[in-house]
């Protein structure tokens, strides 16, 4: 039984993502529901991070905070959740450590490790294990009342495998490099398994009410161009090819798909051929150069200001917006305005508001 939601009042980002000509560039930012907002800390209270993800009520409240604060400026909501709910659903323990970030007390050590066989062999009940995410999406859609569309998302297989093996963030990535160069087959078997879980997870998010989806390959920049072709691209492609098929099987319409491979500037040409409607760019890409690489392919770009500019002066923010509007071709087609990565915790919300206002002013003229 399909959910009944109020009609969408602002479909700008959906029209843009499908490649249509629009009146101005739509905008949102990654991590827009997060620690830079004072109201985030009030709503989160004493709850641990993953408790917030698992509570549809708290997750939906946090998702809506930027929509309410920046009403009329922001054109999409993204569900408050985390990419690491997939390793949790696959049977691994993940904790969020204060000031440190995610931590796996028992990461995958090597393919001979019992845990590797358990994770690889586990029949993951994606509907049951991640039910709290779908409930949060449905509740958020009701609370949004059609104001803006809602993004669902997942981590990319390569990035998830990095976390599962490294046990958290890393500077050297020595453990995962050991895996791909010493145990390539075992690595690929698990990447394939993760990809299958991702497809089902995204499909169920769409069923619950997500209107666009994004795949975050946060650690793509740790791979060499040839390793990226071997250990990331095939799995990003698996998702883009199989999600539309799965949605069709479920009697659901396709939704726009975004791929964001942070740091993989060298792979932009390939990323434009994967079957995603939108390619997210980080701040290492020059907008005008990216447009040249895209050529006449009907790909929409999303990005890409350095999040650090929001610590700067109004003149610095205006200058970056001018460069993006010009570089991405004026903003009336083929560009969703965003940052080149997630907004950082020390940013003042009013400085983000100014960034949005400048995109409206310069992109809508």
Q: Looking at the predicted structure, is the pLDDT value of residue 273 above 90? A: yes
Question: 140 pLDDT band (50/70/90 cuts)?
Answer: very high
Cα 61 to Cα 85, 243, 299: the distances in Å are 19, 28, 33
CB count within 10 Å of CB 168 equals 17
DSSP state of 27: B
What phi-psi label fits residue 99: left (phi over 0), alpha (psi between -120 and 50 degrees) or beta?
Answer: left
Residue 205 CA from chain centroid, whole number: 13
322 C-beta neighbours (distance < 10 Å), count: 12
pLDDT in tens, 167-208: 999 999 999 999 999 999 999 999 999 999 999 999 999 999
Give percent of the chain above pLDDT 70.
100
**Other CB atoms within 10 Å distance of the CB of residue 237:** 17
Q: Which backbone phi and psi does 182 adopt, to 5 degrees?
A: -105, -35
Domain borders along the chain are: 11-362
Residue 302: is its pLDDT beyond 90? Answer: yes
Whole-angstrom distance, CA of residue 327 vs CA of residue 325? 6
- Residue 304: asked if its preceding bond is cis (omega within 30°), the reply is yes
Supply the CATH classification number for the domain 11-362: 3.20.20.210
Give the number of other CB atoms < 10 A from CB of residue 312: 13
Residue with tokens 């099987």: 249
Q: What pLDDT shows up at residue 98?
A: 86
CB neighbours of 217 closer than 8 A, spacing ≥ 6? Answer: 155, 156, 158, 159, 232, 236, 259, 260, 261, 262, 264
pLDDT at 246 over 70: yes
Which pLDDT score, from 0 to 100, does residue 2 have? 73
Mean pLDDT along residues 30-35: 97
Residue 63 tokens, joined: 């998702």
pTM: 0.98
Tokens read off for 231: 């250990």
pLDDT the model gives residue 99 = 83
Q: Give the whole-angstrom CA distance, residue 270 versus residue 266.
A: 9
> Residues 209-244: pLDDT tens digits?
999 999 999 999 999 999 999 999 999 999 999 999
Q: Does the pLDDT value for residue 73 go beyond 80?
A: yes
Instruction: Give the pLDDT score at 1.
Output: 61
- Is pLDDT above 90 for 365? no
277-280: list long-range contacts, CB under 8 Å, 24+ apart.
Answer: 277/17, 277/18, 277/19, 278/17, 278/302, 278/336, 280/214, 280/304, 280/338
Report residue 96: phi and psi, to 5°: -105, 115
Taking the chain, what is the end-to-end CA distance rounded to the nearest angstrom?
43
- Residue indicated by tokens 């883009």: 240
Identify whether the C-beta of residue 172 lies closer than 8 Å to the C-beta of residue 221.
no
Beta strands in 13-163 (DSSP E): 77-78, 95-97, 101-103, 150-155
CA distances from 12 to 17, 73, 249, 281, 334 (A): 9, 12, 27, 20, 12
């Amino acid at each position: 039984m399909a959910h009944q939601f109020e009609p969408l009042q602002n479909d700008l980002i959906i029209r843009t993502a499908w490649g249509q000509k629009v009146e101005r560039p739509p905008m949102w930012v990654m991590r827009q529901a997060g620690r830079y907002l004072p109201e985030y800390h009030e709503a989160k209270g004493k709850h641990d991070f993953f408790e917030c993800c698992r509570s549809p009520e708290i997750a939906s409240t946090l998702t809506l905070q930027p929509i309410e604060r920046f009403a009329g400026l922001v054109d999409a909501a993204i569900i408050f959740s985390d990419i690491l709910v997939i390793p949790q659903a696959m049977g691994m323990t993940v904790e969020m450590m204060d000031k440190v970030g995610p931590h796996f007390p028992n990461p995958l050590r090597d393919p001979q490790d019992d845990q590797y066989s358990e994770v690889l062999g586990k029949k993951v009940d994606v509907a049951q294990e991640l039910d709290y995410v779908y409930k949060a999406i449905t509740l958020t859609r009701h609370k949004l009342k059609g104001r803006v569309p809602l993004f669902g998302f997942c981590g990319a297989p390569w990035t998830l495998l990095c976390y599962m093996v490294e046990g958290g963030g890393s500077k050297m990535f020595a453990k995962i490099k050991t895996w791909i160069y010493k145990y390539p087959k075992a690595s690929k078997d698990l990447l394939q398994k993760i990809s299958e879980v991702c497809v089902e997870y995204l499909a169920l998010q769409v069923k619950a009410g997500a209107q666009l989806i994004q795949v975050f390959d946060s650690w793509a920049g740790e791979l060499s161009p040839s390793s990226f072709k071997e250990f990331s691209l095939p799995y990003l492609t698996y998702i883009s090819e199989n999600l539309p098929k799965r949605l069709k099987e479920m009697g659901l319409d396709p939704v726009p798909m975004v791929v964001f491979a942070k740091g993989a500037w060298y792979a932009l040409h390939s990323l434009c051929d994967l079957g995603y409607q939108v390619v997210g760019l980080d701040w290492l890409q020059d907008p005008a150069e990216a447009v040249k690489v895209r050529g006449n392919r009907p790909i929409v770009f999303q990005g890409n200001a350095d999040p650090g500019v929001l610590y700067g002066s109004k003149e610095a923010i205006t200058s970056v917006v001018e460069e993006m509007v010009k570089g991405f071709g004026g903003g009336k087609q083929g560009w969703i305005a965003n940052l080149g990565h997630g907004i950082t915790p020390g940013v003042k919300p009013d400085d983000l508001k100014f960034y949005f206002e400048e995109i409206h002013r310069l992109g809508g003229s």
